[in-house]
Structures are given as C-alpha cells and as structure tokens.
Chain A
Amino acid sequence: AQSVTQPDIHITVSEGASLELRCNYSYGATPYLFWYVQSPGQGLQLLLKYFSGDTLVQGIKGFEAEFKRSQSSFNLRKPSVHWSDAAEYFCAVGGGSNSGYALNFGKGTSLLVTP
C-alpha cells in the first residue's frame, strides 16, 4: 500500500533561514506526490505536486520540492522562511484506483518560525 513518512514532528527555524521538511514514500510504481499546508483553523492548501518529468518541482509561496527515486524521498524546501510560513505541513501520496485515488497523508510536520 502507498504510504508516506514524515520523520520530523516539529521543526523550528529562524525567520530568514532556509527550510527543508523531509518526506519518504513507499510505493511500487511512480508515485503521485503532494505537499499540503494547513494553517491553524484552516483547510489544506496544495503547495505543489509531482506526477512525472522534472524532478524539481516549483510551488506556491516560494516552495520547491525534489523527487529522488533512489532515496524514495520528496523533500520540501524554501530558501528563506517568513513568519507567515508557520503551519502544519503534510506530505501525501496518491492512492490507486481501488481507493479512488484518495490521498494517503503523512502525520505532518509542525513548523515554528522564531524571530
């Protein structure tokens, strides 16, 4: 079954510092991978997605992610973090047809941004 693991439950970075959130996936074929962000009291917003092609994917709000098949990873990066980036970040992998292509989410990484 498709699954993702986010090893870091919490991450704290200083404003202006770079950010990398880790995500490892488990899937036999080429995965459909997503990063979502959830601000307090809000729904989930898609940051970026990978289906195929270029392994470096650009998303909204200055985020990017790199798909590395050899490491089964899809890490999210941002060169300079803003205080407004504090939120919960979820990596997800798309399921197969038997699950209606529903998303399988990781447990999430909570990002705290300090001044």
Chain B
Amino acid sequence: SQQGEEDPQALSIQEGENATMNCSYKTSINNLQWYRQNSGRGLVHLILIRSNEREKHSGRLRVTLDTSKKSSSLLITASRAADTASYFCATEGANSKLTFGKGITLSVRP
C-alpha cells in the first residue's frame, strides 16, 4: 500500500502563480523527498527534508514538514510552463526503502 498520499490529484494554474501540493503519510519516517516526472520519463529529485527539519528551500521550491500531523507541503513559486509535470512525494522509513504516493499532475498554462 502507498505510504504517501498527495493532494490534490491534479492542479491547473496560470504561469506566474504559486502551486501548493500536499502529502500525508502514515508511519514514522527518516526523511521525505519530492520528485518530478515529465511524461513517463525518469524521476528527478527535487528536495529532501529530514524528519528533524521543519522547512527547506531550494530555488523556487519550499518544502515544509510537520511530523506531528504526518504531512508535508511543496510550494513552487512563480510557476512556469516548464514546471508542468507529475510530482511525487516519497517517504523513507526505517528500512531505507522509498515509498511513493500516486502523484499530483500539475499543469501550468502559459
């Protein structure tokens, strides 16, 4: 079964707007990672946040982690058409394997 559950399943926004995606999980984790996938290709690692961290930034990306609520959010600011892709959250548990959610389809309209 999937550990991470992303919300919403699909998101459509205008270029320049911010996109917020959420992920919830069930069990304790070592870290949570966000990946991007373009049209059935390989996954690109975006950001990793460890269980003892609350917030992390990387360029236009901001990730938060709330371990008490077992949830994370990914914010993409000033979105671009090139951000159109599927986004996955993945949790790493005690056995070090990654468990992925079903993904969020983001469409950024030019």
Q: Indicate, yes or no, whether A interacts with B.
A: no
